[in-house]
Amino acid sequence: MPCSSVVGLQWGDEAKGKIVDLLTVEHDFIVRYNGGANAGHTVVRDGKTFKLSLLPTGVLSPDKTSVIGNGVVVYPPKFTEEVSNLKAAGVSVGENLVLSNHAHVIFPYHMEEERLHEGAANGRAIGTTGRGIGPCYQDKVGRLYSIRVEELLHPQHLQDRLVTIVERKNRLLKALSSEARQFDAQALCEEYLGYAETLRPYVRDTNALLLDAIKAGKRILFEAAQGSLLDVDHGSYPFVTSSNSSTAGIWSGCGVPTRQLNRVIGVIKAYTTRVGAGPFPTELLDGPEGIGEKIRRTGREYGTVTGRPRRCGWFDAVAVRYSAAFNGADELALMLLDVLSELDEIKICTAYELDGERITRFPGDAFQLARCRPIYESLPGWKQDISGIRWLSELPGAARRYVDRLAELLELPVSIVSVGPDRSQTIFARLTR
């Protein structure tokens, strides 16, 4: 049974949403398995732009079942808001959306905890999205203070738990800062019981649902949030998110054994971006008139969730070779190629220099990555608008060489090239290696 995964191979914002949207037609279930409302998916469909941060992109296709797996951390007000925005835009949301009873719930004290930690990090802040993601996952692993979606549906149980948890959280927050916000268990309980009624119709044992679907030969598409270099185990730790944002998260995050996967599509941008702190060897810090700023402006590189300007730089083949390998990528979707169209020359990082030595392996520790200097090769730009091109053979020679060179360096075929945000601005390449 065909199960596919769409996964970002850089530091997020690779335009995965567009690929998920394109592939949705070939699948019956679309599953999110990690992260929460820190993600930002922008999908342009028939000239309409949809921005989602918690709901799977698949929800835009009401004939498919969209699943929020147990590995996702859910902020109920965001869930409610996104569902009602979609309904207001005429998208039908009902039985086609299911939420795992075992997903963990984000409360406002998680956001307060994050704010205090980040504010006190003395130059070592992670630059998080402020959505309470990290503290919620901390509580999940810590076990004492976390609340799962199922628990919201049992009022007395929820109240008992919140009384204990909020008292403890208030003390912890006060210890972090005398200015810390304090919370009222009763008020929180009432507020969340209200959300629970909105959530209730969507809540299911999604793991059983997906395993039954597999038995019935249904086709499942897994939609990763964030990029693999932000994966808590395999990314540039500690400047990462708190979940497994690579294919590694599928099994734990929705209960489907990864051996069911038979297509892993690694999504890459034609350049690199990063939001938040952390090392970024190919970052372009060349000022307001420089290429970094040009890419930011042309690619509209501002965070979907936070609006923060994204840091921009050249394509890093060392980093992507590493992430493609640990994700088990079979093929590549190359996004935003059109953004580079105005440049005279385009660089690709093919190795790093670390302590006077040339290395081609990606260092697993941020403090070492921070000391790596990029070694580039240069290719000529194509200096021509490619956003109307639909066939690989029609790309200007220099653009084709750039695509082929990436495929060669990454040792993977490029199966999709995106030349604009709309669905139609896509080249389905005869696989190029």
Q: Counting contacts by CB under 6 A, is residue 56 touching ligand IMP?
A: no
Q: Is the dihedral of CA 72, 78, 84, 88 positive or negative?
A: negative
Span from 67-75, 129-137, 208-216, 319-327 in contact with ligand IMP (CB under 6 A): 129-137
**By C-beta, is 38 or 96 nearer to ligand IMP?**
38
Token pair for 372: 């790596």
Task: Specify the 3-state DSSP secondary structure of 36.
Answer: coil
Positions 238 through 267 that interact with ligand IMP (CB under 6 A): 241-242
How many residues are given for the chain? Answer: 433
List 4, 10, 38, 327, residue binding ligand IMP (CB under 6 A)? 38
Q: Counting contacts by CB under 6 A, is residue 166 touching ligand IMP?
A: no
Q: Which of 27, 41, 102, 104 is catalytic?
A: 41
Find tokens 């240069």 and name the residue: 378
**By C-beta, is 128 or 272 nearer to ligand IMP?**
128
Task: Sketch the per residue contact string, 134 through 163, with ligand IMP: x for CB under 6 A, - otherwise.
Answer: x-----------------------------
CB-count exposure of residue 146 (10 Å: 0-12, 13-18, 19+)? buried
Q: Is 41 labeled as catalytic in the residue annotation?
A: yes
Instruction: Give the integer Cα–Cα distance in Å for 406 and 55.
Output: 32
Q: Is 160 labeled as catalytic in the residue annotation?
A: no
Query: What is the maximum alpha-carbon separation in the chain?
Result: 67
Strands annotated E in 53-180: 65-68, 73-74, 97-100, 104-105
List 16, 131, 269, 321, residue binding ligand IMP (CB under 6 A)? 131
Question: Which candidate, 418, 401, 301, places its Cα nearest to that of 346?
Answer: 401
Token pair for 274: 């990063």
List 5, 7, 9, 13, residue binding ligand IMP (CB under 6 A)? 13
Q: Counting contacts by CB under 6 A, is residue 17 touching ligand IMP?
A: no
Q: Counting contacts by CB under 6 A, is residue 230 touching ligand IMP?
A: yes
Q: Counting contacts by CB under 6 A, is residue 5 touching ligand IMP?
A: no
Amino acid at 114: E
**By C-beta, is 12 or 69 nearer to ligand IMP?**
12
Residue 235 gets which letter from DSSP?
Answer: S
Question: Which candidate, 66, 58, 168, 176, places its Cα nearest to that of 113?
Answer: 176
Find tokens 């279930």 and name the residue: 29
CB of residue 226 to ligand IMP, shortest distance in Å: 5
Residue 346 gets which letter from DSSP?
Answer: E
Task: Sketch the per residue contact string, 275 through 294, with ligand IMP: x for CB under 6 A, - otherwise.
Answer: xx------------------
List 61, 128, 236, 246, residue binding ligand IMP (CB under 6 A)? 128
List 3, 4, 12, 20, residue binding ligand IMP (CB under 6 A)? 12
Amino acid at 44: V
> Residue numbers of the site for ligand IMP (CB under 6 A)?
12-13, 38-40, 126-129, 131, 133-134, 225-226, 230, 241-242, 275-276
- Active site residues per annotation: 13, 41
